[in-house]
Every structure is written in C-alpha cells, then in structure tokens.
Amino acid sequence: MPQGDKFILLTGRANPKLATDIAKILKTKVHNPITKFSDGETRVKIPVNLRNRDVFIIQPTCPPEVDSFLIELLLMIDAARRASADRIYAVVPYLGYSRQDRKEGPRVPISSAILTEMIEYAGVTAISTVDLHSEPQQGFIKCPIDNLYGSYTLVPKLRSLKLKNLVIASPDKGGVPKATAYAKLLKAHGIAIVYKERDLSINNRAEALEMIGDVGGKNVLMVDDMIDTGGTICEAANLIKKRGAKSIIAAATHGLFTGPALERINSSAIEKVFVTDTVPVTETVLKSPKVKVITIAPLLAEVIRRIQSGESISSLIL
C-alpha cells in the first residue's frame, strides 16, 4: 500500500517547499488547504477525507509571518479534529516564540508557554520539533513532544570538511550543552564559550564581551540553535578572531536571517555558515556566498514514517 493511503500530509504557507520535499521522500502528496478571505482572515478547507487517518501538519511558526503561520497551524489542527482524523501530529520544525520562555522582567508574558498550550488545546496528539530553544519548554504541555536535533543533518556535512585542530564555540552560555554535543560528535579538541550581554530594553541587541577557552591558531566551529539578526554569532566571531583563531565557520539549525543578518555575516570573520531549511530559504539566502543550506527533509520524512508505523525515533535524536 503506498504510504499516502495510510496518512495525510498537510502544509500551510510557512514552508511548502520543505513539506513538498518531505512528501516526495515519502512518495505521497502534500495538501495545502489555506486560502485568505478578503478581510485577511485565514480560511482552511481540507480537500481529502481524513476519517480514521493519521494527519501530519508540517508548519514552522517562523518569519516572515510568525503569527499568521501559527493561526494557520491552529486552524488546520481544528479542521482535522472536526473531520474525525485519527491522530493529528504537528510537525513544527521551528517553533516561534520559543526564546520568550520565561518571565524575564515585570509585566511580560511567557509567550512560549501560552502558544504551546494553544497548539495542544487545538487538539494535537503530539508535536515534533527541531532544536527547541530550551528543552524544559517541553514541560509547558502534557502531550508528547519529540525534540529532534539539527546536528543529525549538519554533522555529516561538517565531518566531511575534515577540520583539524577543531574547537567548538558557543556564542553564549546557554549554548554550552549544544557545543559540548557537537564537540563529542566531531571529536573536537575542546570548547570555547563567549560571554554575551543582552540589553533587555532594546530588542535583538547582544554584545560579546569575554570568552573562556583557547582558540589561538585553531579552526573554530561556532554552533547555535538559530541565527536571527546575526548579532550574536557575528559579535562572537569577531571576538574569537581577535583571540587568534585560524578560521571560523558556523552551524545553526534555524537560519532566520532577518534584518541585517546577511550583511553582518558577509562583513564578519565567519567564512561559511551552515543551516538547515526548517524555515523557508529565500532567494537572497540562496545567493549569499557564505551560506550553505542542508535540507532537513530526510530527517523529518523518517520521523513521520516512524511515528506512523510505531517505531522508535530515539535513534534519530543525536
């Protein structure tokens, strides 16, 4: 029986290219049930029977329309539930708002908690995501969350570079577990940690102040969960360069590249940046001489296949 007979794939407008690539690997079709009403409201009308089927909804809640993409996801879940789907899985390769995961000051929401609760409330069976900004967020809701790692996709490419005298650097202290994991996987000589200060009164402003670790004469790989405006990674790279690194490359799971990110990267000490396509890859990113995108579609297709057939996915979690 072709895979498509057992389950239905849906996508919204967030990253239809990734959804189509996943569908190709699974030898099935992906349906996009989203249109817009004249007043801007989202309309969902799923074109196929869902009764007693498993439904996988592939939709990162990412730029450029984070909030609209979230609404699309919620409405697709609701439509699938009301159409008597058997199990409904939200495959959210990039979960927006995940950096707002604590009350970092007075009179602010814990945005990540409320939004994850909304996804659960809409009626999902489980959520699959990639590199949640902080893993304790899984505790915000009761339904299962499979948090996969971008390293599964990025490490084979990084290994193929055969970098000698390699040091893995984290551009901030929150990224130390990730840097340690990459160091193990790539058999690096050690890790370095950049100390960054955020100005909470200004959005997206970070400054690299100090670092721990010896990068003198070393090839340095900086790893992070995401590159947004590029401030964190470029600030860190410039400090690492000043401390005598021989070369610097970077790897991040989510290449958001908003605002000045690409300009910053182009004029930074970073030679190459590897990202996955959890979020849509724009023409500008494709044309950027320093950015290389490696598709995460095979990983997500395999996850969908294993969820559907009831196999373990823990071996995919590097």
Whichever of 23 and 194 has its CB closer to ligand R5P, that residue is 194
- Identify which of residues 3 and 140 has a Cβ nearer to ligand R5P in the complex: 140
Q: Check: CB of residue 281 under 8 Å from CB of residue 293.
A: yes
Bond before 64 cis per omega within 30 degrees? yes
Q: What does the alpha-carbon distance between residue 230 and residue 232 come to, in Å, rounded to a whole number?
A: 6
Among 72, 131, 146, 172, binds ligand R5P (CB under 6 A): 172
Structure tokens at 76: 């697709």
Minimum gap (Å) between residue 43 Cβ and ligand R5P = 33
The 10 Å CB-count burial string (b at 16+, else e) for 190-229 is: ebbbbebeeeeeeeeebebeebebebeebbbbbbbbbbbb
Residue 196 falls in the annotated catalytic set:
yes
For the bound state, the minimum distance from the C-beta of residue 258 to ligand R5P, rounded and expressed in Å, comes to 7
DSSP 277: B
Nearest CA among 248, 261, 196 for reference residue 222:
248
Q: Which two tokens stand for residue 44?
A: 């969902």
Q: 3-class SS at 192?
A: strand
Per CB under 6 A, which region of 58-66, 79-87, 114-122, 171-179 contacts ligand R5P? 171-179
Binding range to ligand R5P, per CB under 6 A, among 12-20, 147-155, 166-174, 309-317: 166-174
For the bound state, the minimum distance from the C-beta of residue 299 to ligand R5P, rounded and expressed in Å, comes to 20
With DSSP H G I counted as helix, E B as strand and the rest as coil, what are the percentages for the chain, rounded to 5? Answer: 35, 25, 40
184-243 residues in contact with ligand R5P (CB under 6 A) are: 204, 206, 224-233
Which residue among the candidates 196, 242, 272, 287 is catalytic per the annotation?
A: 196
For position 93 contacting ligand R5P by CB under 6 A, the verdict is no
Give the residue with the Cβ less far from ligand R5P, 175 or 213.
Answer: 175
Cβ proximity to ligand R5P, 96 vs 230, nearer residue: 230
How far apart are CB 204 and ligand R5P at their closest, in Å? 5
With respect to ligand R5P, which residue has the nearer C-beta, 33 or 213?
213
3-state secondary structure of 122: helix
Among 13, 99, 246, 305, binds ligand R5P (CB under 6 A): 99
CA distances from 43 to 54, 81, 91 (A): 22, 16, 20
Contacts with ligand R5P, residue ranges (CB under 6 A): 99, 171-172, 174-175, 204, 206, 224-233
Residues recognised as catalytic: 196
